[in-house]
Amino acid sequence: MASSNPSLKIHELCRIAPPPSSPKSSFSLSFFDLLWLRFHPVERLFCFSVPHLKSSSFFDSIVPKLKRSLSLALQHFLPFAGNIVWPSDSDSVKPIVRYTPGDAVSLTIAVSDSDFSHFLDNSPRDASESRAFVPNLDSSDSSASVLSLQITLFPNSGFCIGITAHHACSDGKSSSMFIKAWAYLCRITEADAESESSSGLLPPELQPFLDREVILDPRGIASAYINGWTWSSSGLDPNDQTQKNRPSLKILSEVFPPKVDDSDRAIFDLRRGVLEKIKGRVLQKWESLDKVKEEITVESLALSKPQTLSTFVLTTAYVWVCFAKAMEKIAEQKTKKVLLGFVVDCRNRLEPPIPENYFGNCVMSQVTETLPENLTNEDGIVIAAKKVYGKIMKMQKENGVLDGAETLFSTFSYVKDEENRAICIGVAGSTRFGVYGVDFGWGRPEKVEITSVDRNITMAMAESKDGNGGVEVGLVLKKNVMEQFALLFRSEIESI
């Protein structure tokens, strides 16, 4: 069966279920989950270089191992095998994740004649090329799939695993734990796999904590998000027919489609030495920039000089500045504000803290903003770093991580309102997920890509592949913006 992409041939469409002994289960959705209820799914590609890989070896050996280990992994991560549904047999006003024996994950096996080396290249290339290797995720008013997978062979070169996950079921840390568990079960011998299956054990760091009742909601944030999705859906998507008495689970594809026309996709590397240079500049000028041309809160910029700055602060600040300068060079209309949106892991910020291996969403969105001229002037990197650092420090206060949580939908509306002329760049991924440590038995990935950054302007962060303490940043931008961004990314460090 041929796909719509002429370079891709569909070899097999199948469904992989957990072992038959897996019990019927249901899992509540916390307010952390409900924030993402109708957002676009998270799409990732893990690319493995296997020189001289023949089709016979791939289909006779690799695919069966991946299928078997996937089934074993799903028994530990049952929410991924189920569906998000509105329960009709209860008085619940919230959807749940339900696994019923017989539920399974959609898996596509495909073959591509595309140039694998070109695909692995981090240099700017047509953004649409990656779309052929990520699977779709089904959703409707009454039900939404949680996980969909595609494994694509590049004959004589390697293969890639495309993973599409519903954001309302897991955050990046949880989905990365699942991928590592799947890889672990694939890597061990068949005899060991039987043993692991019967004992139900994974290494402690890969055992998910599935009890979502540990997430407390005394402020009624979940209800605010349910109401937010019900009332704001038609405003976000004019084609959406959701009524206040007819809640829907359908992903708002009209709001979050892949934006790949006339766009390039690229990955940029910030080496450890460059990050140290940025940190030195920021700390050197920290106390001389307590005032900028805008109204600011004390916690945003008038901060005590820290001893050090995190890789996250340095990376996001540098990319934010390069993006603002690139947009300034090509802008047809002056932007009023430039926003940076990111999420923070709340596992150790809640009271009481919840387990590090908690499976689900436990991240909260944060947004900081500034005037574009504050980022494009000679000290833009310092201002950007102080804005991000200040936002993080504010969250250290009591209840800080949840401050403003109930009103996040107004932030979405603000960004969508073209009259505000605000441009927002988001952040996805983390250097802490260890994605380049994933090994299914054929070596570590040659490339990891968060493909879904093409649905909004988003920087994807991961640790550098070579383990040098640097950062990889993935982006999809309009070709004219990408050209400017690439030039600035290389040249800005020279002026620091």
Full DSSP string of 158-227: EEEEEEEE-TTT--HHHHHHHHHHHHHHHHS-HHHHHHHHHHT---GGG--B--GGGS--TT-HHHHHHH
Nearest one of 483, 399, 409, 450 to 35, comparing CA atoms: 409
Hey, where are the domains in the chain? 8-236, 263-495
Residues 88-97 as b or e (16 or more Cβ within 10 Å = b): eeeeeebbbb
* Catalytic site includes residue 11: no
Contact between 308 and 279 (Cβ < 8 Å): yes
Give the CATH class of 263-495: alpha beta
- Between β-strands 263-270 and 125-126, what pairing exists: parallel, antiparallel or unpaired? antiparallel
Domain 8-236, CATH among 2.60.40.10, 3.30.565.10, 3.30.559.10, 3.30.499.10:
3.30.559.10
Of 447, 99, 105, 96, the C-alpha closest to 249 is 96
The predicted-structure confidence for 431-454, as pLDDT tens digits, reads as follows: 999 999 999 999 999 999 999 999
Three-state secondary structure call for residue 478: strand
Asked if pLDDT for residue 255 goes beyond 90, the answer is no
Q: Name the β-bridge partners of 42.
A: 165
Give the pLDDT confidence of 194-232 residue by residue, as tens digits. Answer: 554 444 479 999 999 999 999 999 889 999 998 888 766
479 by Cβ neighbours in 10 Å (0-12 / 13-18 / 19+) ranks as middle
Going by the DSSP 8-state scheme, the letter that residue 306 receives in this structure is P
Same fold, 8-236 and 263-495: yes
**Element housing 109 (H / E):** strand 105-112
For residue 15, is pLDDT > 70? yes
Contact 429, 344 (CB under 8 A): no
Write down the catalytic residue from 76, 167, 264, 454.
167
For residue 247, the model assigns a pLDDT of 73
Report d(CA 66, CA 162) in Å as an integer: 13
Other C-beta atoms within 10 Å of 247: how many? 20
- Check if 91 is active-site: no
Instruction: Please count the other Cβ atoms lying within 10 Å of the Cβ belonging to residue 26.
Output: 15
Task: State the Cα torsion 257-259-265-269 to the nearest 10°.
Answer: -70
pLDDT of residue 253: 76
The model carries a pTM of 0.93
Question: Residue 33 belongs to what H/E stretch?
Answer: helix 31-34
Of the residues 126, 138, 379, 439, which is catalytic?
Answer: 439
Confidence of residue 419 (pLDDT cuts 50, 70, 90): low
